[in-house]
Amino acid sequence: MNAKIVGRKREQARLAEALSSNRSELVAVYGRRRIGKTYLIRTFFGNRITFSFTGLSKGKRADQLKNFMLKLHEVTSEFRNERPPRDWLEALNYLKRFLMGIKETKKKKVFFIDEFPWIDSHKSGFLPAFENFWNDYCTTRVDILVVVCGSAAAYMVKNIVNNSEGLSKRVTQLLKLKPFDLGETRDFLKYKGVFMEEYEILKIYMVVGGVAEYLEHIKPGDSAVITIEKLCFQDGAYLEDEYDQVFKSLFEESSYHQKIMEALADGYKKGMTRDELLDSLGISSGGRVTDSLDDLLSSGFVLKYDSFRGNKKTTLFRIFDEHCLFHLQFMKPFKGSNWTQMFQKQAYKTWCGYAFETICLKHVQQVKKGLECDQIQSSNYSWSNENVQIDLVVDRDDDVVNLCEIKFYNEELVLDQGYLDRLRNKENQFRISSKTKKGIYTSMLTTWGIKTNQYSKAIVSKSLTMRCLFE
Q: DSSP secondary structure string, 56-98?
A: PTT--HHHHHHHHHHHHHHH--TTTTSPPPSSHHHHHHHHHHH
Q: Which of 7, 25, 66 is nearest to 148 (CA)?
A: 25
* pTM of the predicted model as reported, rounded to 2 decimal places: 0.90
Report the pLDDT averaged over residues 435-455: 96
Whole-angstrom distance, CA of residue 360 vs CA of residue 443:
13
pLDDT tier at 298, thresholds 50, 70, 90: confident
The 10s digit of each residue's pLDDT in 127-153 is 999 999 999 999 999 999 999 999 888
CATH architecture of 243-331: Orthogonal Bundle (1.10)
Q: Does domain 363-470 have CATH number 3.40.1350?
A: yes
Domain boundaries, the chain: 9-176, 182-240+332-355, 243-331, 363-470
pLDDT tier at 2, thresholds 50, 70, 90: low
| Residue 447 DSSP label | S
Within this chain, domains 9-176 and 363-470 share the same CATH topology: no
Whole-angstrom distance, CA of residue 34 vs CA of residue 353:
27
Q: What is the pLDDT of residue 315?
A: 92
The 10s digit of each residue's pLDDT in 159-190 is 888 888 878 788 899 999 999 999 999 999 99
Asked if pLDDT for residue 1 goes beyond 80, the answer is no
| Residue 376 DSSP label | S
Q: Which fold has domain 9-176?
A: Rossmann fold (3.40.50)
Q: Which of 348, 356, 354 is nearest to 446 (CA)?
A: 356
The 10s digit of each residue's pLDDT in 226-257 is 999 999 999 999 999 999 888 887 777 657 88
